[in-house]
A and B are shown apart, each in its own frame.
Chain A
Amino acid sequence: MVLLRKWMARGLVALSVAGVAAGVSACGGSSGSSASSNHGQFIVADYGDANDSLEQYAIKTYNATPEGHKVKAVLEAWPGANYQLKLQTVMSTSKAPDVFYNWGSGSIEQFVEAGLVRPLNSSFSSNPALKSNFLSATMNAAKIGNSYYGIPMRGAQPVFLYYNKSLLAKYHMAPPATWQQLLSDVSTLKNAGLIPIALGGGDQWPSQMWLEYVYDRVAGPSLVSKALTGDTNVWSSAASKEALGDVKQLIQSGAFGNSYDSVKFTDSASTKLMVTGKAAFELMGSWEYSTVQGINPSFAKNDLGYVSFPSIPGGAGNSADLVGNAQNYYSVLKSTKYSQAITDFMKVMYSDGFQQQLLSKGWLPTTTNATQFFSKSPTPAYMSWQYGKVKAAPAFQESWDQAWPVTDYTPIHTAVGTFFDNTNEQQFISSMSQLSTK
């Protein structure tokens, strides 16, 4: 009897604990759902890296506004290397972030197809400035069908050819304007015992940049867009083979030295080659400037040169075309309860303060009024040069590994890496033909 009473008592305690817990969670739920009171908050998921102080700035700015006092924005920085993996895992769960960082197009396509992303067209009709303040090419890179899905944040990152000025001066060379000049520079530098072009082949995407540019110059931007929309035959076309032949010639001429497979950009080893004068060129995204600055600030100021990718005479592509990362975007979860607050948050992305933050980090804002802030950036010349290139570019090829769906990310890298290993065109063509199509 005593025992029974003891058990009953324990049971009651357990029940009441559970009750309290349920009550607490119910309270949490109710405060969350009443957006009009001052306790609502939405989660902003970000790519956690050295640049996420930008996002912290955006969040702080928004939270200081009257709207931000009503519904607060909360930043969640996910470690960069696992960002896409984590996003993929939580997007269809109740833990999905209200706003999430992405690369536009291929990176959000499957979320859009699954009906998880909110089209922003209606937000644009009530807040036209949200669209009109950004360059239209940038907005289009996050457009799927007739709907816009992303607001640009961070900046455009076109790829350019960077070089060591004093090394080129030493060998009396001008930065190459044509492919032929590049080849002749390569042979001069190679004969001098240098690595002509630094390449972080261990990361593969730096090798991919060479293919992207040569494909654009030789075949024009339409080849890749055709491949993306389902015409996989373009990979075995004559133009494609010609582009591969050019890259093959460059590799076999010893342009990248003979150990590029073991060199990475991600640990700065490839850039160090250029900064220390062991190599003359590196093809890299616009973040190269800050990478060089991290290695040797005075080199960045005095010795770092930059030019557009050389033209390939006779090719179908325009020598003003760019490749690279068009932009990063914020997209909105369809099921969010705070779409109005999020629209207010998005307005920060074209504010003067945010653009100045971008420029201070060496990023190029893609807003229509960006030029007026260049004078305040630490590198005004570099910024206005880049902006001019982006504005004048007839085509901006999104990096292949981001234009295709995420499931093709590794296959593309493997195809590129293998081509730089064995220069086997047929193998590359067949690997690229097996990628997903839309």
Chain B
Amino acid sequence: MAAITQAERGGSQQVSGRRRRRPHLRSHAQNIGHPGIIWALPATIYFAIFALLPLVVVVWLSFTEWGGIGSPHWVGGANWKALATDSIMRQSIWLMLLLTALSVVTQTLVALPLGVWAAGFQRNRAVLTALYFIPLLMSSAAIAIVWRALLDPNFGIPSQMHWLFGSGNLFGHAGDAIGVLTFVAMWQWTPLYTLIYQGGARAIPAQIYEAASIDGAGRVRQFFTITLPQLRNTIVTSLILMVIGGMTAFESILILTQGEPGYSTTTTAYYMYSKAFLRFQYGQGSVIAVVLVVVATAIGLLITKWTGYDKMASAQEGI
């Protein structure tokens, strides 16, 4: 609506002799409000070729047996039946949810205060924040390799800190291995979320804080009654990113633990890789892929619904 009124205003300012062009201008203005489908075409084609098409093929493969040689042959629901009774599969889903929950909790607890702190304009904060973003520049694989070396029981940090690490057999116990994965993910991803929270915190108008301090609210009170509610949409955004990141986490598991000890760090994504690309059971791997798509989509939809993210309500109504 706003766009149209503006265009009309523009039109009325035209010299009267060129008035006949107004209808054309108006129809053009209407298009601004609703861009044609053509604008979405490149993205749609890209998505269709690289996401939808493989998805369809994966669904088809999930009903076949194929080892990469020759052509896949149809086995009906056999792969699905096998997976339904597969205890490793069930465990992998729980593990994926556990790792996701741990990432969300640890990363939010660190990134939120850090982001709010980094939002201040003091110079020392700017310098420290810049340093703190370094992990963001490194690839996941590089980070995993570095931590694998740093956590070596005989030549790494654990060999110097027995009081904390004991025998240092971090990759030999399920709990420790999950702890390592959570810690490395936190080290790697906290800078990104700090950046997001910093942006969110800087967007909060200073007047609100001024008004609150006149009313006598301290810094803690201000944080909980102004900063947190104002960051609602930022928190939801980062939550969705964390959940999706947690469920698709793969490289760090591949390099740090290979799903071990036993199957204790075999998440659904890693189990899919292991079935398809280590055991060459592409059919069973595809079943896991389909399950992963369904579970991840369902969780994504639930989050958007529960948090009201889809309504895109402003946190600053009435200001």
Contact = CB atoms under 8 A, between A and B. Distances in A.
Given A263-B152, A269-B154, A111 B280 contact: no
Interface string B147-166: 01101111100100000000
A201 B172 contact: yes
A110 B69 CA distance: 9
Contacts of A114: 69-70
Contact of A110 (B67, B169, B172): B67
B261 A261 contact: yes
A64 B135 CA distance: 50
Interface in A397-420: 406-411, 414, 417-418
Contacts of A201: 172
Contacts of B158: 259
Interface string B53-71: 0000000000000011110
Interface stretch (A87-95, A320-328, A331-339): A87-95
A260 interface: yes
Contacts of B152: 262-263, 269
A88 B69 contact: yes
Counting chain A CB atoms within 10 Å of each CB, the highest count among B262, B279, B280, B281 belongs to: B280
Given A262-B169, A421-B172, A421-B261, A410 B69 contact: no
A202 interface: yes
B153 A85 contact: no
A121 B171 CA distance: 48
B70 A92 contact: yes
Contacts of A278: 154
A190 interface: no
B285 to A, nearest CB: 12
Given A269-B155, A411-B279, A261 B169 contact: yes
A346 interface: no
A94 to B, nearest CB: 14
B280 A88 contact: yes
B274 interface: yes
Contacts of B170: 262
A88 B279 CA distance: 11
A273 interface: yes
Nearest to A82: B277
B283 interface: no
Interface string A263-293: 1000101001100001000000000000000
A258 interface: yes
Contacts of A269: 152, 154-155
Nearest to A85: B277
B155 A272 contact: yes
Contacts of B246: none
B41 interface: no
A110 to B, nearest CB: 6
Interface string B244-267: 000000000000000011110000
Contact of A202 (B67, B168, B171, B281): B171
A295 to B, nearest CB: 12
B280 A406 contact: yes
Contacts of B172: 201, 259-262, 421
B220 interface: no
Nearest to B263: A414
Counting chain B CB atoms within 10 Å of each CB, the highest count among A92, A111, A259 belongs to: A259
B69 A263 contact: no
A259 B281 contact: no
A144 interface: no
Contacts of A410: 274, 278-279
B44 interface: no
A407 B281 contact: yes
Contacts of A89: 68
Given A110-B67, A407-B67, A407-B281, A259 B261 contact: no
A116 interface: yes
Interface in B121-161: 148-149, 151-155, 158
B280 A261 contact: no
Contacts of B148: 267
B12 interface: no
Contacts of B213: none
B263 A407 contact: no
Contacts of B260: 202, 261, 414, 417
A263 B154 contact: yes
Contacts of A92: 68-70
B307 interface: no
Counting chain B CB atoms within 10 Å of each CB, the highest count among A261, A407, A410, A418 belongs to: A261
Contacts of B30: none
A257 B149 CA distance: 19
Contacts of A421: 172, 261-262
Contacts of B173: 261
Interface in B53-97: 67-70
Contacts of B281: 407
Interface in A11-43: none
A73 B251 CA distance: 36
Interface in B92-109: none
A408 B67 CA distance: 12
Contacts of A259: 153-154, 158, 167-169, 172
Contact of A409 (B151, B263, B278): B278
Nearest 3 Cβ contacts at the A-B interface: A261-B172, A259-B153, A259-B169
30 contacts: A85-B277, A89-B68, A91-B68, A92-B68, A92-B69, A111-B69, A116-B69, A258-B169, A259-B153, A259-B154, A259-B172, A260-B169, A260-B172, A261-B171, A261-B172, A261-B261, A262-B151, A262-B168, A262-B170, A267-B148, A267-B149, A269-B155, A272-B154, A407-B280, A408-B279, A410-B274, A410-B278, A411-B279, A418-B262, A421-B262
Given A262-B153, A269-B154, A421-B261, 5 more contacts: A261-B173, A262-B171, A409-B279, A410-B279, A417-B262
Interface of A: 85, 88-89, 91-92, 110-111, 114, 116, 195, 201-202, 257-263, 267, 269, 272-273, 278, 406-411, 414, 417-418, 421
